[in-house]
Every structure is written in structure tokens, then in C-alpha cells.
A and B are shown apart, each in its own frame.
Chain A
Amino acid sequence: MKTAISASGDSKESLMDKRFGRCPYFCIYDDESKGYSFHKNPGFEAQEGAGPVAVQFLVNEGVQKIVAAEFGGKVKPVLEQLQIQMIMMQGDRTIEDLINQLKK
């Protein structure tokens, strides 16, 4: 199963981004291969509706779980319909931290 984490940079030392739609990068972690990769978020520079653009991108990547601090009002109903799990985290966590928790 693939999990996406909103990231503020493209290395595992960077922090999780607080926003889902407008985070600069997504880290996609695959718990079968235990590998992870960083992708630019196409919603980062979108004028309007950044959330749905980001969701579209993640669905194409086959993501089934998303970790972010908060999800916007436009995104929540879409994710519920697509049956993608939302995980909300507070505080400053690095990507490495979250991946280690997912590995448990």
C-alpha cells in the first residue's frame, strides 16, 4: 500500500508540510518495497483548487493513505468518495520520523 506525506523539501530530513494542497513536495512511501520517493506537487503553483489537483496526481500514483496536518474543505469529500484514508498529524515531524512510524 502506498502512503503520501506532504513534505516541505525533497529530502528525508525535511519537515512535514502543514498544508496538503500547497505543499511543495510529496513523499510517497511504499510499504511493500519499503522504498520512498519524492515528487513535485503539481498543485503547488495552481491559482485555485490546489487540493483537487494534488489529489488527482496522488490517485494516478496509486496512493491509498495521505498524511498531512490538515485537509481543506474541498479535498475532504473527494477523498471520502475515493476511499483514501486521511491521517492528520500536529507538530514538527521530519519525513524520516513518519516513515519510521509507518514501518512499524
Chain B
Amino acid sequence: MPRPKRNRKVLSPPAFDAFLPSGTDSAGKEAIELNLEEYESIRLCDYDLLNHAEACELMHVSRATFARIYESARRKVAKAFVEGRAILIQGGDFKFEEKWWKCHDCGSVFNSPGRKKQKDCALCSSDYIEEYSSSAESYCICVSCGYHKKHTPGHPCREEKCPKCKSRMKKK
């Protein structure tokens, strides 16, 4: 078994989930999954204009590993551009310096200074928030009325019944 991947440090998550091409039918094509560490490598190299040596230190990996992540990121972006596919930014082996949350009600992304646990959204005080991490807390959502509740581990979402309209629920 290979050695597990070291967590790459990411400064903060992007404030959106995906890029969609316009003017073409991208729905039929499989989307490209860009990992968060790949997104970070593009941001450090091409947006903040750092060189690989500076960027690899910020991400806590070796220069060679950084180059591999960046290479893979560029190939994925190029493939999505040429073939007109959507780019989903999700997954990967990463950690944040700070904890970040996303609110499903107002769409904001926020951090928590001092590593405190955040119970509700910093902007709209909704409790429908999700922590950004590789193993995030998940929600069950009702297929007909959109009611949501926190997922209980060990209980499949599809066996849960919505308390409001009694219909089936699914994984968010």
C-alpha cells in the first residue's frame, strides 16, 4: 500500500462550486473535478504570481510535488476549456489554516477567528451551514419541500421521512 498523501495547505476555499461553459450543451458531458489543492496551485502561481519554490512552501509540500499538482491542474483546466466541460471544484487531500464554513441559505463562505466552532451563519444566522473539509458534516434534504436536517451517521438518508410532508429524503 502506498504511503498516504500529505495534507496540502490551502489558504481559503473558493466562494463558488463550479464553472459552467456557456453556449454549448455541457449537461451531457461528464464534468471535470478539480481538487482544492489544484485550485490553490493555480491561484498561487498564476494569480498571486509566485514561483514554484515560494508556492510549495505555502502549501507545505515539496517543490516536485507542487509541480505535479500544478501540472495536473493545468491539464484539467485545458481539457475542460477545449472540450467544453464544466469544472467542479471539490475534494482532494488538503487542510485549511483556519476553519471555513459555507452557508446553504445565503451562499456566503466565512471563517472563524480563534478556531471557535461556528453554530450558525455569520451573515444571516441560519443554522444550515456546512464545514469545508474532506470529511464534512452532511445533511438529508427532502425531495419535495426542501426541508433539511443534519444527517445521523448509520441511518441512510433515503430511509428517512420528511417530518413536514412525509415524503422521501435524499443526501444533500
**Chain A: residues with CB nearer than 8 A to chain B?**
65, 67, 69-71, 73, 76, 80, 83-91, 98, 101-102, 104
Contacts and interface: CB of A to CB of B under 8 A. Distances in A.
Contacts of A86: 12, 110-111
The 6 closest A-B pairs by CB, nearest first: A83-B113, A88-B15, A87-B110, A101-B124, A88-B109, A73-B48
Contacts of B11: 73, 76
B125 to A, nearest CB: 5
A20 B111 CA distance: 16
Contact of A104 (B15, B111, B124): B124
Contacts of B98: 80
Interface of B: 11-12, 15-16, 48, 97-98, 106-114, 122-125
Given A73-B11, A98-B123, A104-B125, A89 B111 contact: no
Nearest to A79: B113
Given A85-B122, A102-B123, A91 B107 contact: yes
B139 to A, nearest CB: 20
B98 to A, nearest CB: 6
B111 A85 contact: yes
B170 to A, nearest CB: 25
Given A80-B98, A80-B113, A67 B15 contact: no
A77 to B, nearest CB: 8
Contacts of A73: 11, 48
B122 A65 contact: yes
Contacts of A102: 123-124
A3 B97 CA distance: 23
Given A76-B11, A80-B98, A101-B124, 10 more contacts: A67-B108, A70-B15, A80-B97, A80-B111, A84-B113, A85-B110, A85-B112, A87-B108, A87-B123, A88-B12
Given A80-B97, A101-B106, A69 B111 contact: no
Contacts of A89: 15, 106-109, 123
A90 B16 contact: yes
Contacts of B114: 83
